[in-house]
Structure 1
Amino acid sequence: MMDTQALYRRREAEFLKEIRPYLHYALQSLSIAAGIGFLVFMIGYRQFLQWVTPEFPWQLTATVCMMLVLGGGRIRTYLQQADTLFLLPQEPAMAIYLQTAMRRARIIGSILVAVGWLIVWPMYHKLAPSSGWLFLLLLLVWLVFKQVLLFGKWTEQQLLEQRTRYLFIVLRWLLCAGPTYTVFNLGPGYGAGILAVGSLAYLGILRLPRQYKVHWNLLIDWELRHKASIYRILNLFIDVPELRGKARNIRWLNKIVNFIPFQRKSTYKYLFTLVWLRSELFGMTCRFTVIGILLMIAFDNKILAAVLYAILAIFSAVQLADLLRYYREHLWQHIYPLSPHLRKQSLRVVRLTLHLCMLVLIIIPAFWTLSAPLWAAIMLIIAACGSMIYHRFK
């Protein structure tokens, strides 16, 4: 019988070996920025702890931070297309392989939860004074809760119907948000009780829908997406072999390009807009914008809001810089009777337009949450000017 546990470890090592050359250059480019970012975060967080008062919506802030580490995370299986032919007949033996994948996900998830709780604890300890024993007790609660959510995520990937899968994804995030907020808002006693009851009910609900024993095709598809996301991150620092993503043609979204004039000079604007709409970059942009809006709602301090808005503006600009990758090697761009300069200029215009729209949507809550709307307007103007400079020379 095949040693599937050794197979998993070998595939994991092969993947790390595959990305190691690109990871080396990425770390070289990122190390200084990461060190500076960490230092700025530590200084800013210390200042935040000195400033924050119980009137600040710290429960919501702590909930968002813990949600990211509790509900997030990936289960890497390293499955390949050929596995449906060669390994599917050995599905009983593959149980050990998949258990190894889950065990790795649990270990990594537990580490992230511990790091997240270490970050949230100083704020929680100041605004809800407690002993060190409560830190350990709640850490244990978070770790157990993480295992429940990971089991739910694994179950989601085995469901037969896509619509049911989406419903259970929403349910998992609601379970992650609700009980987590009650722990901070109602106290650890009531909150942990509600969290335990909710977890037991959730585990019972997971048994109701129809599901595969192992949903091979979906797991392989998710693995391809995971690899593609890693390559997209590395591609920000160095050119790497591209993994083809799925093009999605959502008809009602295509109406957005109707505002682009039907002219020769607008050809690439039309094409790059469609590329954005039909690639996974569209979903990433929408999710980032929604997260940015929610974060801006939670902050009513002018300085903190300005720092947060600057971070969001920078990361959204870097995210949109990946738009060129989706059309870089396309044959037709060399056949069109159009100049390469027009292509570069159109790309800058599309990226700038998208970035400005994101900046406007993210800043809208600040006009109500901040006591000085003029401050929000100044933030938007500065960010817009920075965006124009960035996209002009990027």
Structure 2
Amino acid sequence: MFDSHAFFKKLFSAHLKETSRYLKYIFNEHLAVAMLFFISALAYYYQQWLADLPANFPTAWIIGIVLGLLVSYSPVRTLLQEPDLVFLIAAEHKMGAYFRNALIYSFVIQLYLILLTAAAFGPLYFASYPERSGQVYLITIAVVLIFEVWNLLANWWMLKIREPGIRQVDTLARLLLNCAVFYFFLHGDMILASIATILFICVFLYDLRVSRKQAGIVWDLLVEKDRNRMQFFYRIANMFIDVPHLKNRVKKRHWLVSLVDRVPFQQKSTFDYLYRITFIRSGDYLGMYLRLIVIGGLIIYFVPNDWMKIIFALLFLYMSSFQMMTLYQHHRTNIWLDLYPVSKQYRQQAVLKWLFQLTFIQTFIYAGIFLFFADYQGFGITLVGGLLFNYLFINGYVKQKLT
């Protein structure tokens, strides 16, 4: 007899084993040290910023929109895979316990994000509303959790509808209503918050009514959603370790490739060309590199202390070099590279040279931020210190890891 509860436990155990296998590489000692420093510094300047918080700061808008986005997302993690459909379609009427467990698991995962967000916004909330007690904030969190459950159920019901347009309109409507409820609640306007809540309940009941009219479960949609989430996780893990079964996305990006493919037509430049276009056309490296530049640049711009700006610049240079060194293993499973009549020494040199060129651009951008403030001393220290750090780290640690 088919036991859907036992089947969920089996898939859940396999899922935990698979994710924990890569999480230990993602949260390694290098990232832990960088994140510890990063969070500590942000917490320090966060407290300093709150001490001079403007009286008209839009706290309700910011917290309301972020919480609205968070609860509207609420994905349902079913853990289903395509081979499971062979026998699950016939056992659809016995899957009640399985989907109940999937909803509970999805809520627990989302609960961590909500509590972390609530903890991050707590100081801002109390700085903006000093007259309110901690009990009021706890009630706010409780309201968010109630809406999280409602949105999770609504998302589950919408997964029974195949048309993506209907699901998108429903998500947008709930997103706007979620943001409105939290904004009015935080602003203290309970009448408008109640009206927005009633409108949300109307959408919620409409989703229930529409889902009950559907013939059955859209199995291929459930599998597709979970597959996309796992591929996203694998892409993150692939930044730290080679993931053999990752389906790498390749994008053409002709105009970007044309900017970096100017290499000498020589045998020793074979890997220079390969790793440059891999960096541009792969779905991971370019985006990660640009995100680190933007995040680091914003932090350097807003941090008031000059020495902390320089430390953050070096920190993000370190993170970029550490993440980009996985480029060397990108073609690990491609046997054609072993047929190239090119020495492996050129392969290592190509990666090291490309990493130094990327971090040089990043160093110059970070140093240029100091010029915006007419801080020529900071510009010189960041430029010289960044180039020296890049040279020592790439030709020391990175080179050793590539051997």
Task: Report if TM-score (shorter chain) is over 0.5.
Answer: yes
Code of the aligned partner of 1:91? E
Q: Is the 8 A contact 2:76 2:102 kept in 1?
A: yes
Q: Is the 8 A contact 2:26 2:237 kept in 1?
A: yes
1:342 aligns with 2:340: no
Q: Is the 8 A contact 2:74 2:110 kept in 1?
A: yes
Please give the alpha-carbon distance, in whole angstroms, between the structure 2 residues aligned to 1:306 and 1:58. 31
The alpha-carbon deviation at position 343 of structure 1 amounts to: 1.8
Please give the alpha-carbon distance, in whole angstroms, between the structure 1 residues aligned to 2:58 and 2:161. 37
Q: Secondary structure at the match of 2:82?
A: coil
Of all paired residues, the percent bearing the same amino acid is 20
Matches within 5 A, 1:261-340: 261=262, 263-264=265-266, 265-281=268-284, 284-285=287-288, 288=291, 292=295, 296=299, 299=302, 301-302=304-305, 312-340=316-344
Please give the alpha-carbon distance, in whole angstroms, between the structure 2 residues aligned to 1:346 and 1:115. 42
The alpha-carbon deviation at position 233 of structure 1 amounts to: 5.3
Please give the alpha-carbon distance, in whole angstroms, between the structure 2 residues aligned to 1:219 and 1:24. 28
1:112 aligns with 2:116: no
* Distance 1:19-1:136 versus aligned 2 partners, 3 A rule: closer
Aligned to 1:135: 137
Q: Secondary structure at the match of 1:54?
A: coil
Matches within 5 A, 1:124-273: 124-129=125-130, 130-151=132-153, 154=156, 160=162, 164=165, 171=172, 175=176, 179=180, 182=183, 186=187, 189=190, 192=193, 196=197, 199-200=200-201, 203=204, 214-231=217-234, 242-249=244-251, 251=252, 253-259=253-259, 260-261=261-262, 263-264=265-266, 265-273=268-276
The alpha-carbon deviation at position 35 of structure 1 amounts to: 7.3
Aligned to 1:55: 54
* Distance 1:213-1:362 versus aligned 2 partners, 3 A rule: farther
Structure 2 residue runs of 5 or longer lacking an equivalent are 399-403
Code of the aligned partner of 1:245? K
Q: Which moved more, 1:351-360 or 1:76-85?
A: 351-360
Q: Which moved more, 1:201-210 or 1:220-229?
A: 201-210
Q: Secondary structure at the match of 2:90?
A: helix
The alpha-carbon deviation at position 136 of structure 1 amounts to: 1.0
Deviations 1:109-147 (A, max 9, x none): 123312321232123212321211211111012223333
* Distance 1:73-1:167 versus aligned 2 partners, 3 A rule: closer
Please give the alpha-carbon distance, in whole angstroms, between the structure 2 residues aligned to 1:277 and 1:166. 33
C-alpha RMSD of matched pairs (Å) = 4.9
* Distance 1:49-1:244 versus aligned 2 partners, 3 A rule: closer
The alpha-carbon deviation at position 20 of structure 1 amounts to: 5.1
Please give the alpha-carbon distance, in whole angstroms, between the structure 2 residues aligned to 1:143 and 1:366. 43
Radius of gyration: which is bigger? 2
* Distance 1:319-1:83 versus aligned 2 partners, 3 A rule: same
Aligned to 1:45: 43
Deviations 1:134-176 (A, max 9, x none): 11111012223333444565567666456x4995699489649
Code of the aligned partner of 1:49? Q
Alignment coverage as a number of residue pairs: 386
Deviations 1:198-257 (A, max 9, x none): 7457658968999995443343344344444545555666x56522214334x4x13321
Code of the aligned partner of 1:270? Y
Q: Is the 8 A contact 2:242 2:330 kept in 1?
A: no
Structure 1 residue runs of 5 or longer lacking an equivalent are none
The alpha-carbon deviation at position 192 of structure 1 amounts to: 4.7
Aligned to 2:123: 122
Please give the alpha-carbon distance, in whole angstroms, between the structure 2 residues aligned to 1:177 and 1:295. 29
- TM-score, normalised by the number of residues in structure 2: 0.71
Code of the aligned partner of 1:135? Y
Q: Secondary structure at the match of 1:337?
A: coil
Please give the alpha-carbon distance, in whole angstroms, between the structure 2 residues aligned to 1:42 and 1:234. 25
Please give the alpha-carbon distance, in whole angstroms, between the structure 1 residues aligned to 2:227 and 2:355. 26
- TM-score, normalised by the number of residues in structure 1: 0.73
